[in-house]
Chains A and B, each alone.
Chain A
Amino acid sequence: MDWQGQKLAEQLMQIMLVAFAVVAFFTGYLVNSFQTMLLIYASGVLLTTLVAVPNWPFFNRNHLKWLDPSEADRHPKPQISSTNTGSKKKSSKQHQK
Chain B
Amino acid sequence: MHSFGYRANALFTFAVTILAVMCAMASFSDSFNSPSPTADVQVLNINWFQKQPNGNDEVSLTLNISADLQSLFTWNTKQVFVFLAAEYETPKNSMNQVSLWDGIVPAKEHAKFWIHTTNKYRFTDQGSNLRGKEFNLTLHWHVMPKTGKMFADKIVMSGFSLPEEYR
Q: Given contacts A21-B19, A37-B22, A49-B8, list 13 more A-B pairs with CB under 8 A.
A: A9-B1, A13-B7, A13-B10, A14-B14, A17-B14, A28-B75, A29-B75, A32-B74, A34-B26, A34-B75, A52-B7, A53-B4, A54-B4
Give the residues from 133 to 159 in chain B that come closer than 8 angstroms, CB to CB, to chain A: 146-147
Contact of B11 among A21, A32, A49 (CB under 8 A): A49
Give the residues from 1 to 53 in chain A that come closer than 8 angstroms, CB to CB, to chain B: 1, 6-7, 9-10, 13-14, 17-18, 21, 24-25, 28-29, 32-34, 37, 41, 45, 48-49, 52-53
CB distance from A50 to the nearest CB of B (A): 11
Chain B residues positioned under 8 Å from A1 (CB to CB): 1
B92 interface contact, C-beta 8 A: no
Roughly how many angstroms separate A55 CA and B7 CA in the complex, as a whole number?
10
- The answer on a CB contact under 8 Å between B75 and A33 is yes
Q: Is the interface of B mostly helix, strand, loop or mixed?
A: helix
Contact of A41 among B2, B8, B22 (CB under 8 A): B22
Roughly how many angstroms separate A49 CA and B146 CA in the complex, as a whole number?
27
B15 interface contact, C-beta 8 A: yes
Contact mask B1-43 → A, CB, 8 Å, 1/0?
1101001101100110011011001100100000000000000
Chain A residue at smallest Cβ distance from B5: A53
* 7 A-B contact pairs sorted by A residue (CB < 8 Å): A10-B1, A21-B18, A21-B22, A34-B26, A37-B22, A49-B11, A55-B4
- The answer on a CB contact under 8 Å between A17 and B26 is no
Chain A residues positioned under 8 Å from B76 (CB to CB): 34
Chain A residues positioned under 8 Å from B147 (CB to CB): 34
- The answer on a CB contact under 8 Å between B7 and A9 is yes
Closest 4 CB pairs of A and B: A6-B1, A32-B75, A53-B7, A21-B18
- The answer on a CB contact under 8 Å between A18 and B4 is no
